[in-house]
Chain A
């Protein structure tokens, strides 16, 4: 299991980045493809905005862009219909594969 997955199991979404290039790297990798230096990890702020969404059964889902400019997909929890650009708080975990969910802030 990778460091990323291990941290997801603990509920932590870690951003892989290269100190040398000052770049976030997604998907995660051990070596920076630009400078070949070993990559590092930092915790995500877990805040993002909705890029697009839809609904399956009674649950919303969609694509969210995190503040670190990484886009991921997951369930969206919202009392009302979500809106494009709305700020969401992310929760991440791991159950056989990565899983992400987002709750609309100030909903």
Chain B
């Protein structure tokens, strides 16, 4: 098995406005290729596109737009975790020797259809994600006495981090008070507890050990991968936990030979405030009962360890691009290129991306 590294990254700015996904894809992919000084499109032999958009044949279209004639090309759809799943697929192609240099581009538009899983009939007509998020939030409050303020701190922290992310849909700070007084969506959810569906695209280029040193002075290695799908129906899960995250994390830690306390920086899937609290405990970064206090402490000490780019809440959530964007953030952090968002001496980073109320999770560990 070949070792696999990220050697190039490129992004568009995320936006609330509807946008043409082909243009977004081209922009982020082109930025990505140009981020590697001596890489030409002819070197790329794999093109994977992660998207929930209804458009067809996107990897072939992107290949033609860039004048690439890849050996491997196809799209990947897995709702909100399409991006990391596309990267895991690229990893598999490279580690097995089926491809050498793979471009992964994630994209979605603000009105993409991936926000609602029509198939899940157990949700009745409560198909919008706010309903499952309200169930998880209420259950977390009930089990851990989580306060409205602790939930608001997740959002305040991530909006604050997004101020220093030029690709975030908004760079405006939000105070805890503003968040706690924002529009009430349900008894357990305010509008500022929710990530926002955006238009945007993010791209990475992965390669094997053989080519990594040729194209990059600072490749970032994927050292652990875990993926677990427990169901597709939200109601089949225990609402007090995200079991898929726990299992995926354990697989990734085992493969990377690390423990949760080795992690220097983490991008976690904060689709809603409660998701960050649940994720950091399922990932073993803290315990469930201490998750609110843990995030409060990060906020008060300006520690950017969790979601330094602003997470989904702060940066926006273009579904197919989100996981790729998370991987770009960790890559930049481990390369020491995150400017005002930089975590000192970051050596080990984690990415957590999940789908459909945590019915499926992907976890990656990266090292410099």
Contact = CB atoms under 8 A, between A and B. Distances in A.
Interface of A: 26-27, 51-56, 61-63, 70-74, 84, 95, 97-100
A61 B233 CA distance: 18
B126 A54 contact: no
B261 interface: no
A60 B232 CA distance: 25
Nearest to B189: A54
A62 B142 CA distance: 14
- Interface of A, secondary structure class, is strand
A72 B188 CA distance: 19
Contact of A27 (B139, B188, B233): B233
A56 B187 contact: yes
Contact of A63 (B130, B137, B185, B239): B239
Given A54-B188, A55-B187, 14 more contacts: A26-B122, A27-B122, A27-B233, A52-B138, A53-B138, A54-B138, A56-B134, A63-B135, A73-B122, A73-B131, A73-B234, A74-B124, A74-B125, A98-B125
Interface in B102-146: 118, 121-127, 130-132, 134-135, 137-139, 142
Nearest to B233: A27
A52 B238 CA distance: 11
B252 to A, nearest CB: 29
Please list the 8 inter-chain residue pairs (A to B) with the smallest Cβ-Cβ separation, ordered nearest first.
A71-B235, A54-B134, A55-B187, A100-B124, A99-B125, A56-B186, A74-B124, A73-B126
Interface string B231-268: 00111100100000000000000000000000000000
| Range class of the B interface residue count | 20 to 34
Contacts of A61: 126, 131, 134, 186
A56 B142 CA distance: 18
A52 B142 CA distance: 10
Interface of B: 118, 121-127, 130-132, 134-135, 137-139, 142, 185-189, 233-236, 239
A88 to B, nearest CB: 14
A82 to B, nearest CB: 11
Contacts of B118: 97
Given A56-B186, A56-B187, A97-B118, A51 B239 contact: yes
B124 A99 contact: yes
24 contacts: A26-B122, A52-B139, A52-B239, A53-B138, A54-B138, A54-B188, A55-B187, A56-B130, A56-B134, A61-B186, A62-B135, A63-B135, A71-B235, A72-B124, A72-B235, A73-B132, A73-B135, A73-B235, A74-B124, A74-B126, A84-B142, A97-B127, A98-B125, A99-B124
Given A52-B239, A73-B131, A98 B121 contact: yes
Contacts of B126: 61, 73-74
Contacts of B239: 51-52, 63
Nearest to A62: B135
A95 B127 CA distance: 13
A27 B131 CA distance: 19
Contacts of B186: 54-56, 61
B116 to A, nearest CB: 10
A26 B126 CA distance: 18
Q: Tell which of B124, B132, B139, B142 has the most Cβ of chain A within 10 Å.
A: B124
B71 to A, nearest CB: 36
Contacts of A55: 186-187
B124 A27 contact: no
A54 B135 contact: yes
Contacts of B235: 63, 71-73
Contact of A71 (B188, B189, B236): B236
Contacts of B188: 54
A51 B187 CA distance: 16
B135 to A, nearest CB: 5
Contacts of A100: 124
A95 to B, nearest CB: 8
Q: Tell which of B130, B187, B233 has the most Cβ of chain A within 10 Å.
A: B187
B119 to A, nearest CB: 8
B122 A71 contact: yes
A63 B240 CA distance: 13
A56 B128 CA distance: 13
Contacts of B130: 56
